[in-house]
């Protein structure tokens, strides 16, 4: 794999010398490390949103599993401590009475918010940087599917505590599902275990919330990550200056990225625990057990836009079609979100810049050169915000006409304003986000590798003397900077170092050749052969680096001519 950061000479040496451990002997874990352990992760602060979503999901699974040990998915009435409540409600009361279970319940609730929020931020980042374009359209689509699944799981999560809020919110969801023409009854009864609320409802919602949707999320996340491994990360623009074409610049998965990720997970869990301890998100006492009366319920922020649309859609927006009525509930609660998500799915195919036949988009596009995308993001966010405002429109004494004017006009105004301002600050020189190797003509003849770049320096090392040959590794400057990261060498530096390595290794191999013939001690022969292997590996690496450097230099020359 081209992107795998190459092991340095030192590490090669270590790999050859190390005695394999018990598991290594049986499972060859080293192979796993060699193949994936050095996958490069670009360093950029916005690259953590996806990881945050993943870790929120991990926390949700862990805390949710704990809660499932105590929770009872039944809405049959039971009498506990003289109070007759649904069994599910009573079991959540029990959860609340156990401090650690209550903490996990709150963490579970907060983590759901974090998961949705980080998926949204992740999506926004991908959109703004234009990295949903070729070759990453598939992952964009899987990402939107993940967002939908997460919203679905969150909605089912509302219903499980079976308090007054749960029954009302789920009842509304049931009615929205029932408004689907032709198949509404089938869909709503499949999704809510019969005509909600009925005895089967909670079992159905529990199975969907706990088994079906999380398994689908796990599968989709797995594919999402495999596609990233296959396609490699898109990179911040600075990588183009520092890494040769087709290579990803970043910290290796093991140990740097893994430790960073672990830190992120721990910090997230800590923050969620603190939040849960001091800001319990949805205590049972807030709404109490279900009553004939409906409390004033509002969905959480991430569904507020649909709620707002349901509120302001005029009741007479309905028409008949093939013997059924398309009613406002379906238009506002199903059709409108479907259209919205349809656009989201179609983003990679609506983008007119995504028409590249050869080559791919590999670098993040600087925000300043994408006024259109900035404007579209601003308009969309303002549109959603306006719909959230619509959820409260009568609280602000707005009439229906006024709120519709805001919902329609505000996104247009915001989008146009951002576009006009963005155009003004557009840079004169555009950064090309396409992969640079596409511009290297594939039919270019093999280039003279060594001559034009550098005069070959005299070999600097004495050949390894027989018997002690393994002891002296190739000289390499200490690659680690102060903060434990690899400093990023310039192309010229890389080329120079690679050239030195190639020449030294070739020379060394030449010196080793007679030794192989001369020796008759099998131990010594093995030692020499092992050493040759390490030199050979280093040579192959350096040579490949050199090819990349020379190619990119060529490309630079060609672009100067143009």
Q: What gap in Å lies between CA 161 and CA 477, rounded to an integer?
A: 61
CA atoms within 13 A on the CB side of 421: 10
| SS3 call for 459 | coil
Q: Does 27 bind other proteins (CB under 8 A)?
A: no
Q: CB 408 → other proteins: shortest distance, Å? A: 18
Q: What gap in Å lies between CA 145 and CA 138, rounded to an integer?
A: 11
Whichever of 164 and 369 has its CB closer to other proteins, that residue is 164
Closest CA to 166 of 197, 189, 199, 209: 197
Whichever of 150 and 168 has its CB closer to other proteins, that residue is 168
Q: What gap in Å lies between CA 328 and CA 315, rounded to an integer?
A: 6
Q: CB 198 → other proteins: shortest distance, Å? A: 4
Sketch the per residue contact string, 256 through 285, with other proteins: x for CB under 8 A, - otherwise.
------------------------------
- Per CB under 8 A, contacts with other proteins among 166-205 are 168, 171-172, 174-176, 178-179, 186, 189-190, 193-195, 197-200, 204
Q: What gap in Å lies between CA 149 and CA 177, rounded to an integer?
A: 16
How many residues interact with other proteins (rule CB under 8 A)?
A: 41
Q: CB 409 → other proteins: shortest distance, Å? A: 22
Q: Write down the H helix ranges in 395-490.
A: 400-424
What values do phi and psi take at 240, rounded to 5? -65, -35
Sketch the per residue contact string, 292 through 311, with other proteins: x for CB under 8 A, - otherwise.
xxxxxx---------x--xx
- Per CB under 8 A, contacts with other proteins among 28-67 are none
Token pair 């013939």 in the structure block, residue:
517
Q: What gap in Å lies between CA 541 and CA 512, rounded to an integer?
A: 19
**DSSP per-residue codes, 163-197:** SHHHHHHHHHHHHHHHTSTTTHHHHHHHHHTSSSS
Whichever of 170 and 505 has its CB closer to other proteins, that residue is 170
Task: Name which position in 313, 370, 499, 532 contacts other proteins (CB under 8 A).
Answer: 313
Q: Does 213 bind other proteins (CB under 8 A)?
A: no
Whichever of 293 and 451 has its CB closer to other proteins, that residue is 293
Whichever of 128 and 213 has its CB closer to other proteins, that residue is 213
Whichever of 133 and 178 has its CB closer to other proteins, that residue is 178
User: b vs e for 524-554, b when ≥16 Cβ sit within 10 Å of the residue's Cβ?
Assistant: beebbeebbebbebbbebbbbbbebbbbbbe
Q: What gap in Å lies between CA 168 and CA 297, rounded to an integer?
A: 7
Sketch the per residue contact string, 389 through 408, with other proteins: x for CB under 8 A, - otherwise.
-----x-----x--------
Whichever of 308 and 548 has its CB closer to other proteins, that residue is 308
Which run of H or of E encompasses 37? Answer: none
Task: Name which position in 332, 348, 415, 548 contacts other proteins (CB under 8 A).
Answer: 332
Which run of H or of E encompasses 41? Answer: strand 40-41
Whichever of 83 and 479 has its CB closer to other proteins, that residue is 83
Q: CB 215 → other proteins: shortest distance, Å? A: 14
Q: Does 329 bind other proteins (CB under 8 A)?
A: yes
Q: CB 120 → other proteins: shortest distance, Å? A: 24
CA atoms within 13 A on the CB side of 369: 14
Binding region for other proteins (CB under 8 A):
168, 171-172, 174-176, 178-179, 186, 189-190, 193-195, 197-200, 204, 291-297, 307, 310-316, 318, 327-329, 332, 394, 400
């Amino acid at each position: 794999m081209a992107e795998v950061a190459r092991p340095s000479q030192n590490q090669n040496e270590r790999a050859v010398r190390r005695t394999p451990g018990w598991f290594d002997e049986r499972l060859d874990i080293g192979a796993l490390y060699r193949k994936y352990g050095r996958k490069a992760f670009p360093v950029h602060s916005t690259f953590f949103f996806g990881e945050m979503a993943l870790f929120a999901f991990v926390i949700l699974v862990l805390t949710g599993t704990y809660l499932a040990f105590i929770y009872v998915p039944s809405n049959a009435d039971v009498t506990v401590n003289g109070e007759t409540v649904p069994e599910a409600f009573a079991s959540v009361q029990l959860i609340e009475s156990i401090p650690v279970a209550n903490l996990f319940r709150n963490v579970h609730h907060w983590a759901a918010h974090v998961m949705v929020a980080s998926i949204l931020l992740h999506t926004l980042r991908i959109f703004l940087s234009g990295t949903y374009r070729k070759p990453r359209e598939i992952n964009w689509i899987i990402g939107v599917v993940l967002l939908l699944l997460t919203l679905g799981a969150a909605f089912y999560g509302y219903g499980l505590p079976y308090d007054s809020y749960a029954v009302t919110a789920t009842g509304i969801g049931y009615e929205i599902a029932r408004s689907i023409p032709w198949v509404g009854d089938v869909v709503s009864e499949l999704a809510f275990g019969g005509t909600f609320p009925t005895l089967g409802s909670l079992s159905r919602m529990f199975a969907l919330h706990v088994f079906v949707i999380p398994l689908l999320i796990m599968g989709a996340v797995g594919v999402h990550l495999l596609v990233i491994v296959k396609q490699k990360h898109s990179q911040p623009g600075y990588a183009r200056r520092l890494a040769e074409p087709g290579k990803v610049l970043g910290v290796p998965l093991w140990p740097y990225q893994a430790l960073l990720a672990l830190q992120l997970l721990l910090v997230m869990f800590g923050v969620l625990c603190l939040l849960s301890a001091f800001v319990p998100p949805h205590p049972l006492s807030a709404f109490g057990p279900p009553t004939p009366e409906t409390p004033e319920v509002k969905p959480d922020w991430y569904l507020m836009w649909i709620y707002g649309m349901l509120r302001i859609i005029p009741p007479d927006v309905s028409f008949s079609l093939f013997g059924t009525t398309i009613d406002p509930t379906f238009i506002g609660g199903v059709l409108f979100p479907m259209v919205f998500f349809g656009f989201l799915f179609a983003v990679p195919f609506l983008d007119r810049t995504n028409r590249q036949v050869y080559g791919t988009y590999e670098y993040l596009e600087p925000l300043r050169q994408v006024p259109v995308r900035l404007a579209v993001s601003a308009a969309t966010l303002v549109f959603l915000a306006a719909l959230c405002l619509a959820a409260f429109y009568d609280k602000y004494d707005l009439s229906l006409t006024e709120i519709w004017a805001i919902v329609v006009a505000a996104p247009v105004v915001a989008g146009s304003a951002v576009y006009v301002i963005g155009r003004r600050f557009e840079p004169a020189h555009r950064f090309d986000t396409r992969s640079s190797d596409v511009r290297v003509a594939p039919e270019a003849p093999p280039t003279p590798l060594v001559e034009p770049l550098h005069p070959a320096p005299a070999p600097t090392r004495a050949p390894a003397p027989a018997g002690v040959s393994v002891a002296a590794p190739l000289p390499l400057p200490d690659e680690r900077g102060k903060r434990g990261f690899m400093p990023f060498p310039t192309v010229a530096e890389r080329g120079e170092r690679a050239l030195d390595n190639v020449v030294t290794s070739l020379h060394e191999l030449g010196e080793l050749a007679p030794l192989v013939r001369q020796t008759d001690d099998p131990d010594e022969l093995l030692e020499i052969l092992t050493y040759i292997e390490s030199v050979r590996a280093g040579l192959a690496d350096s040579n490949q680096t050199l090819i990349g450097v020379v190619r990119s230099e060529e490309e630079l020359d060609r672009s100067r001519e143009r």
